[in-house]
Amino acid sequence: MVFRFLILSDEVDDFKREIKIDSEATFLDLYNAIMDSVGYTKDQMCSFFICDDDWSKNTEITLVEMDTTSEVDNYIMEDTRLEELLEDEHQKLLFVFDYMTERAFFMELREIIPGKDLDKPVCSKSIGEAPVQIMSFDDMDPKAGNTEIGEDFYGDSEYDIDELDKEGFDGLGDGPMDNPYDDERF
């Protein structure tokens, strides 16, 4: 069988790669095909994650042996065949290529082609430029916008304890409240 993967990036809108690979190939073969198709160096830590339909990470396939507990199955790219973990069309995967900033490609097994074999993986579609391979924390563009907190972030800069609504607070009498910050201990 041949697997046809579609690879997308959330960083570059017009980036798209399509890889066709034999189902008996290993995740290392898929890793090499992806890295070659985007022009990345192969000197960084990377992992595949088998995901559910909501892109939540389930099974991890690592480039090298990781020090994990024996309770969790440990999959290494070189030793794990694609067909061992992938069996359904539209299966989703993440390929984390920048561990420090958790940047990844979104992958989907778009098609399973029975009755065909491939000797080596093929990049059958290459559109757009890949995002940079390694990005420093300083270069990351925060998606949440400006994170600077002004002096009025928590509301009014002036706080008047007499404005506190005493309704709903047990034990607060009708008299004026003492300001705990006026205490000489502080």
pLDDT, position 23: 96
Report the run of H or E that residue 94 belongs to, with start and end: strand 92-98
Q: What are phi and psi of 103, to 5 degrees?
A: -85, 140
Residue 186 reports pLDDT greater than 50:
no
pLDDT tens-digit series, residues 107-138: 999 999 999 999 999 999 999 999 999 887 66
Give residue 145's pLDDT band: very low, low, confident or very high (50, 70, 90): very low
The single residue listed with the structure tokens 């205490």 is 183
Residue 7 reports pLDDT greater than 90:
yes
pLDDT, position 176: 59
Among the ranges given (66-75, 82-91, 102-111), the one the predictor scored with the smallest mean pLDDT: 66-75
The single residue listed with the structure tokens 């999959």 is 75
Angstrom distance (rounded) from CA 145 to CA 54: 25
Give residue 11's pLDDT band: very low, low, confident or very high (50, 70, 90): very high
Among residues of the chain, what percentage have pLDDT more than 70? Answer: 70
CA 9-37-60 angle, 5° bins: 60
pLDDT, position 121: 97
Residue 64 reports pLDDT greater than 70:
yes
